Structure formats: C-alpha cells, structure tokens
A and B are shown apart, each in its own frame.
Chain A
C-alpha cells in the first residue's frame, strides 16, 4: 500500500516536472529569439520630418545601432527600430534583395543597410567580382568604380557602404588600399566617394586614424600604432572637400599625431572630439567585439558606455543575441539618465543619422 502511494507521488512529480521543463523550454526559445523584448512605439514621422522631442530616449539610442541583418532576428530588430542592418555574404542577388525588402517593409525610419564592399573584400563574391582598390590608379577609374559599386548596391537596397579604405599601406590584404602616396590616395578616395554617392549610397572613409592594415607585433592583447601626419592626411583632405559623409574609427591604440592616450581610438573622446572639430558627418565605430577593446574594459557594459560616451554616432554591434542588443540600449539609456552621457550628444548624433537618411529634424 505504502509502496503504491510512493509510486503515485513519483508519477505526479514526473508529470509536474515535464510541464515545468516544457514551459521553461518554450520561454527560453521565445527569449532567445528576442520575443520578450518590449516593442517600441513607432517613431512619429510626418512628411519626412521627425520631431526629436517626440522620440523616446530608447528610440534615439536604437537609431545609433547597426546590427547584423540576420533574418532570424527580423522581429526584434524591427521592434527595436534600430538604426541599421549590416549584411554578410549571401549566395544570390535575390536573397540580398528579399532580406532588405523584408526588413524595410513599413519602417517609419528605414534602416541603414550597410556592407563592406571595397573591391577585393566583398560579401558579393558569388554574384560579381569588383576591381580591387589596389588596381585603381587614376581618378577616372576611381570614379567609375564608385559609380559601378554604387549602382550595384543601390539596386540591392543598400544605402551605406563601409568603403573606401584610406589607410596608406596594406601589408596584409595587399588589395584594400588605393596605390600611391597620401595625396594620390586622397584624390582617388574622393573620386570614388563622388561616384558612389551619385548612386544614393553613402561612403565611409576608414579606418581612422590609420595603420590598421600593417603587420604588427604578434602581441595578443593590444593593437597599437604610431600615427603620423601622412596617415591623417586623407581624412583632412576629404573633410575639407566636403565629400565624406561617414568616417569609421578603429580600435587601434594610437600615439603620435593622433594620441588616444592609451585607450582604443574608438573609445577615446579626445580622438573623436578632435576629429569633430572640422567634420559634421557621421562617425561610425568599428565593430565593438574586438579584443583590443574588450580587454581594455571589465565588462561589455563598460565597452558600450565608453564607445557611446566617446561620441560615436553609429555603433556597430554584430552580436546575434537580440537580448544583448536590448541590454546595450538599456545600459546607454541609464547612462544618459544619470548624466554620464549628455542627452544633447545623443540628440546631435540622432540628428546627423536622420539627416543622412533624408529626414528633416525639428
């Protein structure tokens, strides 16, 4: 009798545990897909005019974030109304096109759709080959390359290209930089940008402040470089010509002409403030999961605050986990609310982003 009772209890416990396991499994799957992230109310857009006062702080911060446009994260990225999606390689034009259309469908503020199309570095290798920058040696060829790549990107729905590279030397890839000295590289980059931007695709000069493509000492934890006047020349030239709409800042710890005071350039307010003196375009952070950056801070939350606080307008965070992206937005929101990051700085960044997307901001 007693044995029978014991068995009955075990059975009840078993069924209860099965229900608990099933429930928790479903909750975990729902959470992993970002479906527990609260939906943002749509940004109020009237006739291409955005009233900044009507945007919530979360909406503003979300506009500053570019993530990987993985279709698996279709709902969370749209719900959060993020600033942009970056697309990795796919096999056909059709797949690229459909991904962009799906993401952009009925978004009040469209995503930046970004790619790394430089020539030899390209996510479109299965579809088409492009001329490597290293083989472009005249202004005419650079302009033609810009037009060709711009047309191709525009056709697929891209509107922001993380190119051209204006590093003076490319000892590693051998194909990403234009040939010549700093003056020649600057002229070629300007022509490329002009061509690209005639096709409604914005260009990005990278990787500020330079020297990211040279062989370094095999030190695992720091990527450091001595920056000279020549390294910065292309940026000064392009800013002066008014041609560059975005500049990407790297995680290199720089000294010399641009001194990041021992911290990664992308997290250095000093470096970004100096860049900002004559430049009012977008400042884009390099992807933030870099060892040089991560090892410098105790936690990812600190990395987030450092990168936003430094003054980057657009922050690339390619973490696939939508909960982590949501966490980043919440961390920055809290930092703004306690005055660690000025709201005026966030507003200025969002204004630049919205203007780059073709909106008027009031």
Chain B
C-alpha cells in the first residue's frame, strides 16, 4: 500500500524519534519553544504587585514568579505595560508582562 520510498522516510523519522526519546530518558533537557520565545524577546521583564488600587513594580523577578505561581491562575489581561494577571479571588494581584510571564513559565515549579 505504502511505497517503499515513503516507508524509508517514515523509518528514518521513527529512528530519529527513538534517539530523541532515548536521550530524554537519559536526562537530556531539550530547549523548549517558550525558552526560544523568551530569548528572542528584547523587552525587559516587568512584574507589578497590585494591592487595592496601588500598583508597585517588583524587581525581584524570581520571588515574583514564585508568588505568581502560588496564585490559582494567571490569565491574559492587559493593563498599561503588563499582559498577565495572576490571582486567587479578589485580594492581591500580580501583573506580568509577556517577557516576565515566559520567564516564570520556565521555572521548574511552574
């Protein structure tokens, strides 16, 4: 049914896929699309904390990411220079721009 040539190409692909799976099994971490996106984005990461009506920039991006992750969810929502809002309920909210959000998503706890 399938031509010999097509079968040959499928076999080569399966062979490459097997090698990738084997490398992953041995602990190789492949770069992700998110990492590429982050590296290509020339913006500065921005994290803003909103308590009541006040927005304050937060430079410690790692602590910001961890607190954002502890919230129930982050959803796309634009406000000034930020694009993502992370929160649980009505209280404190953490705002991130795309660069910061992509950075946070690369963290092992995300």
- A positions within 8 Å CB-CB of B: 3, 6-7, 10-11, 13-14, 17-18, 20-21, 24-25, 27-28, 31, 68, 88-91, 116, 120-126, 129, 132, 171-175, 212, 215-220, 223, 287, 289-292, 318-321, 323-324
Could you tell me the dominant secondary structure of chain A's interface residues? loop
B72 with A291: CB separation less than 8 A: no
User: What number of B residues sit within 8 Å (CB to CB) of A?
Assistant: 42
Known contacts A31-B25, A318-B108, A319-B109; 18 further A-B pairs (Cβ under 8 A): A7-B4, A7-B7, A10-B8, A21-B14, A24-B22, A88-B70, A90-B72, A120-B51, A122-B91, A123-B70, A124-B88, A126-B88, A129-B90, A129-B91, A174-B56, A219-B59, A290-B62, A318-B66
B11 with A320: CB separation less than 8 A: no
Q: Which residue, B4, B14, B17, B70, has most C-beta atoms of chain A within 10 A?
A: B70
Expressed in whole angstroms, the Cα–Cα distance for A220 and B100 within the complex equals 12
Expressed in whole angstroms, the Cα–Cα distance for A215 and B48 within the complex equals 12
The distance from the CB of B2 to the nearest CB of chain A, in whole angstroms, is 9
The distance from the CB of B108 to the nearest CB of chain A, in whole angstroms, is 4
A174 with B14: CB separation less than 8 A: no
- B positions within 8 Å CB-CB of A: 4, 7-8, 10-11, 14-15, 17-18, 21-22, 24-25, 27, 49, 51-52, 54, 56-63, 66-67, 69-72, 87-92, 107-110
Expressed in whole angstroms, the Cα–Cα distance for A91 and B88 within the complex equals 8
Across the interface, name the chain A residue whose C-beta is closest to B8. Answer: A10
Expressed in whole angstroms, the Cα–Cα distance for A116 and B109 within the complex equals 15
Which residues from A are CB-within-8-Å of B107?
289
Which residues from A are CB-within-8-Å of B10?
14
Which residues from B are CB-within-8-Å of A91?
72
Expressed in whole angstroms, the Cα–Cα distance for A171 and B54 within the complex equals 11
Expressed in whole angstroms, the Cα–Cα distance for A89 and B68 within the complex equals 10
Which residues from A are CB-within-8-Å of B91?
120, 122, 125, 129
Q: Which residue, A6, A31, A217, A290, has most C-beta atoms of chain B within 10 A?
A: A290
The distance from the CB of A254 to the nearest CB of chain B, in whole angstroms, is 14
Which residues from A are CB-within-8-Å of B15?
17
The distance from the CB of B29 to the nearest CB of chain A, in whole angstroms, is 10
- Ranked nearest first, the 4 interchain pairs of A and B with the lowest CB-CB distance are A125-B89, A125-B88, A318-B109, A24-B21
The distance from the CB of B65 to the nearest CB of chain A, in whole angstroms, is 9
Which residues from A are CB-within-8-Å of B70?
88-89, 116, 121, 123
**Contacts A6-B4, A21-B14, A116-B70 hold; do A320 and B58 have CB atoms under 8 A apart?**
no
